[in-house]
Structure 1
Amino acid sequence: MWLTGRSVALIAAAVVSLLLAAIAGIPALLYVTGLCAGLVAVAVVLALLARPRLDLTRTVMPAIVEPDEVVEVEIRVGVRSGVPVVAGHWRDRLPSTVLGEATGTVPVTDGPYATVGYEVRGRRRGSHELGPFSVVVGDAFGLVQRSLSTGDRDRFIVLPRRSPLDVRVGPAGATDGATRLHPTSGLGQDDVIARPYLPGDALKRWHWKATAHHGEPMVRQEESELRPSVLVVLDADPRVHDQAGFEWSVSAAASVVAHYGTRGFDVDLATGTQSVSLESGHGLQDALVVLALAEPDSTPLVIPARERTTFVLTGSLDTTTAARLLDAVPSRDTIAFVARGTTEGGRDILAAAGWHVVARDAGDGLEQAWLAATGVTSS
């Protein structure tokens, strides 16, 4: 609680009036002294008796967003008090990872609650915390003010940045012999099932009518054809990453998951002890949220033992960390995106196991590394 400028001015006026009354012998000025000092004293007493409490409801829309997407925050705020108080300036604390202004003046309303709002944008992936909220309240004459705050916090998640990958290039993707396609409605003649083109599909299988209908390459498919499956592994071991390299790997993992997930693949994502499975692309957002919240972690990888095309996103490997990856990743049909700082011994270990190694720098675009991986796996 503090005195405002008005209170300071009244106290100064009381002091001056008292001095003039004593020096100039004007007793009437003592009434001015009493009035000014009394107003401040009454305001302080009422402020002590008020014991105001803050009620707050914060709504964040949407709670999961793409990078730089606008997040709208609406706050319903009310002050409960033993005596009437006036709410003034408010502020919602924002982390340095978001862009926006969360300050203003509480509007005057007829009811006990007022609504304020603001917009923010997330600058980087991850969970961003909003709050605590604080508001300044005072008496109707603006003599005494105090700050009320609430510890309530809310969060929104920014998904990783992703790069579009050319469907005409890149690894073809292995299939899992135990997984078969679910029947789908055909778009072509004679009840032939059509699905999106996948790298490695023969030209003779193109379904021209379905391609024209969808506006993207489509191919003919038998109902018994195996549904393609891939595994994406984010190696979060802090020993192999610097900050920029880890962010590159997270963004690349998100791009590969989205690329195959939106094209009907079964995709498994593994990072540390966490794993997410997408069946024909369903559950993509769950996988992206896991990547949005990913942090360097030395926990050993836990990966289901199934042979399929595998993408490993890692950093600077030596012989020890390369051997660790080989033990953790069950598939030999693997492409590893490694930092250029990887030792020759580390590369040799991976190459000897049949892995295709693609070197990258943290400043490289994923598209370059993707082109380097073209045609290195079997379909």
Structure 2
Amino acid sequence: MSTQSAEPTEFRESPSRSRRIATEQPVTLRAKLHLGFLTARGWGLFATGTIALLGAFLLGRRELLAVSLFLLLVPLLAAFLLRFGKADLKVTRTFNPQQAITDSGVRVRLHIMHEGRDAGIMQLRETLPTDFGAGPGFSYPSRTSGHGPAGSGSWYEYRLRLATRGIYSIGPVQAQVADVFGLSARPATLDAPSALLALPQCNALEPTGIPGEHGSHGQASSNRRLTPDSFEVMTREYRPGDTVRRIHWPATARRGALMVRQEDYRATPRAVLMLDRSRAAFLSQGVGADPVVSIPQFTSPPKDSSKRFEWGLHAALDIGAFLADTGFGIDLIDHRGDSINEVSASGTEDPYELFAGTYASTRMAQSLAALGLEDAAPVRRDPASATLGAALKERLRERGDRLVLILGETTRAQADSWLEVVGTRSRVTVLCVVSRHDQGHGAIAHLRQAGWSAVAVTPHSSLAEAWAELGKQT
């Protein structure tokens, strides 16, 4: 086997994340006349045959006629066999690491091999998203490609640096397939695109107290007292997708409907993180509008985001990781009460997963990786909806449970709506991501008067400082 690195060895998106279109090659006369099914060598052989055929007629030489027919038919036969023939090529694409982190490098390795007849010489080019420009080019087989009982192949490697979270479409490998004599060539797609998941970075918060908590470190209390009828409190109705192993049969027999267990609900207090993803809250219109950030969705159209929404999403991840480390189970929902796993293309298998334990931050980062703003019309619905109210009522049942609201630009009227749907319960933390520091003061003051911890931040604010300020409002 051999390893041949692609040049250039690294591709990076532009800092502005604007789309950069690769320079198109000028259309040649050969392309206009659709003469690409033969190579320059093939057309040279065909032209020689044509001249020989003309000479055979002029000179009356039968042997020259046979040579001319041979020269004419060989490139055409090569093109025919190449068009309907198939080289057994197999492309294996691997990523290291399997899930990339934004602003960090990832190595892409290609293993291309074939079985059976010789695949001939091919010029390969990897297909990358438009932001990366033209993909790296290779020549197959490489000069020192290996041969074995399973076939022969070559290894190629290049690096990517992903500036935006999302699900990137890497591939397929485009090839210029040629016959063994180099007389004919045709374009071919060797494989299907591979999905590369880019996770948002998770930054650890300082181990300070939790806003609204009393104690030295704000650790979540877990000494819940169970009652004889605790299964009634610890169960909920069966939802599609729940595993059969979670069915609580005593509660099912008593209620007459399928009931499933809430894993350690009483022993583990819950923190609900509500991330507003409405377009009106994070994409302002008119003069000074927020620039749109595109979030790749593999082969689907990209989702829209903005700098303010990216700040709010990273804040949700960092706060969620911090609360999970202090003993909370994290429940991520959006402004409509839907689970993030349901509305994100990178959501985990269980739409009602409670993020807790050692890998809570990684699982949350995976769920948030492809999340974008809502696709609905720019009219923002009233947050005091029945769905959101029902979702919060279902999720927040214990006194130790907490609610963190991450909102966009919020007016005084919208603050009243949030107070109406959530209620005047304590242990509510609010971060409003605004464009300028002088925005949102009225809404923040109104929320604080209701007993909530609230602060306004901008995309340039420090989450650690904002979290510390929320702690002082306890």
Q: TM-score, normalised by structure 2?
A: 0.59
The structure number with the bigger radius of gyration is 1
What is the count of residue pairs matched by the alignment? 331
2:198 corresponds to:
158
2:153 corresponds to:
114
Deviations 1:26-74 (A, max 9, x none): 9576565334323212312332452445444433343323223333334
1:54–1:20 Cα change, 3 Å? same
**Superposition pairs of residues 98-177 of structure 1, within 5 angstroms:** 101-107=135-141, 108-110=145-147, 111-118=150-157, 119-150=159-190, 152-168=192-208, 171=211, 173=213
Q: Measure the CA separation in 2 of the matches of 1:311 and 1:100.
A: 43
- More strand as a share of residues: 1
Does the aligned pair in 2 maintain the 1:97–1:122 contact within 8 Å?
Answer: no
Unpaired segments of 5 or more residues in structure 1?
Answer: 182-225
1:343–1:137 Cα change, 3 Å? same
Does the aligned pair in 1 maintain the 2:308–2:434 contact within 8 Å?
Answer: no
| Correspondence for 1:93 among 110, 127, 135 | 127
Residue type at the aligned position of 1:33: S
Unpaired segments of 5 or more residues in structure 2?
Answer: 1-35, 225-266, 284-305, 340-351, 382-386
Q: Measure the CA separation in 2 of the matches of 1:276 and 1:314.
A: 23
Note the C-alpha offset of 1:121: 2.9
Q: Measure the CA separation in 2 of the matches of 1:85 and 1:282.
A: 45
Does the aligned pair in 2 maintain the 1:87–1:106 contact within 8 Å?
Answer: yes
1:286 corresponds to:
363
SS of aligned partner of 2:280:
coil
2:313 corresponds to:
250
1:267 corresponds to:
330
1:358 corresponds to:
455
Note the C-alpha offset of 1:163: 3.4
1:365–1:178 Cα change, 3 Å? closer
- Quote the sequence identity (%): 22
Deviations 1:146-197 (A, max 9, x none): 232256232122221233422247636477998339xxxxxxxxxxxxxxxx
Note the C-alpha offset of 1:249: 0.5
Q: Measure the CA separation in 2 of the matches of 1:323 and 1:266.
A: 28
Q: Measure the CA separation in 2 of the matches of 1:172 and 1:281.
A: 25
1:214 corresponds to:
none
SS of aligned partner of 1:127:
strand
SS of aligned partner of 1:136:
strand
Residue type at the aligned position of 2:427: D
Note the C-alpha offset of 1:144: 0.9
Q: Measure the CA separation in 1 of the matches of 2:130 and 2:420.
A: 40
Does the aligned pair in 1 maintain the 2:211–2:453 contact within 8 Å?
Answer: no
SS of aligned partner of 2:281:
coil
**Superposition pairs of residues 1-379 of structure 1, within 5 angstroms:** 2-18=37-53, 25=59, 27=61, 30=65, 33-52=68-87, 54-79=89-114, 84-96=118-130, 101-107=135-141, 108-110=145-147, 111-118=150-157, 119-150=159-190, 152-168=192-208, 171=211, 173=213, 179-180=222-223, 230-242=271-283, 243-271=306-334, 272-274=337-339, 276-297=353-374, 301=388, 302-303=391-392, 304-306=395-397, 307=399, 308-329=401-422, 331-340=425-434, 343=440, 346-377=443-474
Cα root mean square deviation, aligned: 3.6
Does the aligned pair in 2 maintain the 1:89–1:136 contact within 8 Å?
Answer: yes
Note the C-alpha offset of 1:13: 2.7
1:34–1:115 Cα change, 3 Å? same
SS of aligned partner of 1:240:
helix
